[in-house]
Structure 1
Amino acid sequence: MIMAGAAAGYALLAGAVVPYALARARWPHRAPLLGILAWQGLMLSFVVAAALTVYHLVLTHRHVHDGLVGLLGACGSGRAADALTTPPSVADGGLLLMPAAVILLPLGWLARTLWHTRREQRRHADLLNMIGTDAIGFDATVVDYTVPAVYCVPGRGHRIVVTQGALDVLDDEQLYAALEHERAHLIGRHHLLRTIARAFNRAFPGLPLARHAEAQTALLLEMNADDRALRFHSREALATALCEVAAGRVPSGALGAGGPGALIRLRRILSPQERPPRAVGVGVVVASVTAPLLPLLLACIP
């Protein structure tokens, strides 16, 4: 029961305590990719800790407790090595399905969300083939719609879409800044990271980590795309384009230049800040990679 309590405490820390602190932190806005890595590591840490909690609760009195798929036996416990010589029963195998379900739940939601997103993308791509026209001078599809909007449809056959309203209000530099923002989404496969966070939120509804991870991942991905656009275009051009297209609605499965947190992003673009020190970046990477492993290391304690 001690190991079950330790794993449960770790899951509580990762799922309901750290997310509030990370959501309030300002350093992720200065280094969006590091922030995204931190949220991904935190989600994985919660799944591992929650699975170990269930494992120890349902199998603590069983001989299979001495090996989490051989893990504890590999840790060098003599008691585990002896127990592993006794084959697990059918009942033990059934009980193992309970901790496995904690892992399979988010994976199932991920598969379902990916399928649904891909279906929406294909549906919208088919619609664009009927109502869109290829733009002359830049690689994008123009839709005759009065509301200014610039967005991309990721996936196979990806494309960038610009409405006629956006062409009417944006000058050339502003338009190319918005297009570069969308190319960053496509090059970085940002839709996959958003899908992971969305699936995690659906798998664990009501969990603070799930709610904050989806919202913050979406915001940080937009900030990362902003940073790429700023490599080639002025801050004024990108900020103006963001203001003009912020009200444009984006279809399901697409990523738009307006995106979430437009006001926060606008302030960030116009008030640049230095990236965190290298030591902070290294610390975040190490913590994000090792955090999911800590519950497993705790399980190896005799």
Structure 2
Amino acid sequence: MTALIGLLLLGLLLSTAVPRLLARARWVEREPVLALLVWQCLVVAVLLCCALGLLLAASAAMPELRALVFTGAPHGVEAAYGLQDSEGWGRLSAAVLAAGALQTVLALTREVRAAKATRARRHAQLESRAPELPESIEAARGRRERLVVLESVRPEAWSLPGPDSRLVVTTGAMRQLTDRELAAVLSHERGHVRARHHWLQQFARALASGFPGVGVFREFRDQVEELVELAADDRAARRHGRHTTALALAELNLDRGVFGSCPPGLAQSPKRVDRLLAGRPRLTVPHRLRLTVVALCAPAAAVLLAVAPGLGSLL
């Protein structure tokens, strides 16, 4: 049972100490895309620890499953895990981990259904306010996302992700922004759609709502909400300039504090404008590679820890 205990301890370490280090890291704002990768690797590693721990615990509790798991394994591999003498401990661990897995599935299902219902409602509202152009005209635009213009004095821009994505901009925004600023705003929203940020946000929200007492999932949700905005800002800045993007952000959010696609309070406009105007350089390529390798080591460590007893018996 050393593998199971090791997986549980590794999951505990990754879900407590590492998120605190990431939250204090100064490089995160300079590399939001890399930071998103690091957070995803961390969460995947925690979930792998739980999933592999559930498999080992269930194998200890149920001899039939244990025989199935180790079917075809070389002699001595099954004995190396010591599951035969841990049936009671295995049942308790399997019950706890199985409850967590069920909670994860239910939370993710609720989040996906709620997001689909919200998108359907917003699409319906959008169609009633702005009828779509014929498909032949839309196809000539050469864009994967349809652009919709709404009549409104309030300057706003947002995106509706999904299979039939939309980029929405109001006439107020078109009157208030210059052509370059408007292009930067649309590039920001297009970045959300093309990077599938809504999938990552749904996953993060589902984990946070399913396990409100687990700090790593709560921190993951909060960081994702902020980092996707920084990543979209960088996309717009690369194409249209930092100053143009910062001016567009400020113009759109004089009375809101965030871009139109973001819930109020999640990503503060002054902080994002200051970041764009500061123009801090990116990390060097070797530094980014080192951080990527370290991030990928987290899920790899969970897998290696699970198979270590079996590999040790073969040596």
TM-score between both structures, scaled by the size of structure 2: 0.78
The one-character-per-residue Cα deviations of 1:140-184 (angstroms, maximum 9, x if unpaired) are 322233332211001122111112332332222211110111111
Tell me which amino acid in the other structure corresponds to 2:223: Q
1:201 pairs, out of 205, 208, 224, with 208
Distance in 1, matches of 2:37 and 2:110, equals: 23
Q: Indicate the residue corresponding to 2:115 in structure 1.
A: 117
Tell me which amino acid in the other structure corresponds to 1:128: L
Tell me which amino acid in the other structure corresponds to 2:16: A
Q: Indicate the residue corresponding to 1:171 in structure 2.
A: 178
2:283 pairs, out of 270, 276, 289, with 276
Matched, 1:239 2:246: yes
Q: Indicate the residue corresponding to 2:226 in structure 1.
A: 219
Q: CA RMSD in A?
A: 3.8
Tell me which amino acid in the other structure corresponds to 1:171: T
Distance in 1, matches of 2:71 and 2:21, equals: 32
Alpha-carbon shift at residue 205 of structure 1 (Å): 0.9
Alpha-carbon shift at residue 231 of structure 1 (Å): 2.2
Matched, 1:144 2:141: no
Tell me which amino acid in the other structure corresponds to 1:225: A
Q: Indicate the residue corresponding to 1:47 in structure 2.
A: 47
Question: % of aligned pairs identical?
Answer: 31
Q: Indicate the residue corresponding to 1:159 in structure 2.
A: 166
Tell me which amino acid in the other structure corresponds to 1:204: F
Alpha-carbon shift at residue 45 of structure 1 (Å): 1.2
The one-character-per-residue Cα deviations of 1:99-158 (angstroms, maximum 9, x if unpaired) are 344334323322321221111111111111111266999963222333322110011221
Q: Which moved more, 1:67-76 or 1:42-51?
A: 67-76
Query: SS state of the match for residue 231, structure 1?
Result: helix
Gaps of 5+ in 1: none
Alpha-carbon shift at residue 96 of structure 1 (Å): 5.0
Q: Which moved more, 1:204-213 or 1:163-172?
A: 163-172
Q: Which moved more, 1:46-55 or 1:11-20?
A: 46-55
Q: Indicate the residue corresponding to 1:14 in structure 2.
A: 14
Structure 1 residues 149 and 58, CA gap change in structure 2 (3 angstroms): same
Q: Indicate the residue corresponding to 1:266 in structure 2.
A: 273
Alpha-carbon shift at residue 70 of structure 1 (Å): 3.8
Q: Indicate the residue corresponding to 1:79 in structure 2.
A: 79
Answer whether contact 2:257 2:269 (CA < 8 A) is retained: no
Distance in 2, matches of 1:76 and 1:234, equals: 62
Alpha-carbon shift at residue 19 of structure 1 (Å): 0.8
Distance in 2, matches of 1:81 and 1:73, equals: 12
Tell me which amino acid in the other structure corresponds to 1:46: V
Distance in 2, matches of 1:6 and 1:154, equals: 40
**Number of paired residues?**
294
Distance in 1, matches of 2:61 and 2:291, equals: 38
Structure 1 residues 142 and 96, CA gap change in structure 2 (3 angstroms): same
Answer whether contact 1:11 1:46 (CA < 8 A) is retained: yes
The one-character-per-residue Cα deviations of 1:15-52 (angstroms, maximum 9, x if unpaired) are 12211110121212222111101111111111222345
Structure 1 residues 74 and 225, CA gap change in structure 2 (3 angstroms): farther
Answer whether contact 1:51 1:102 (CA < 8 A) is retained: no
Query: SS state of the match for residue 154, structure 2?
Result: coil
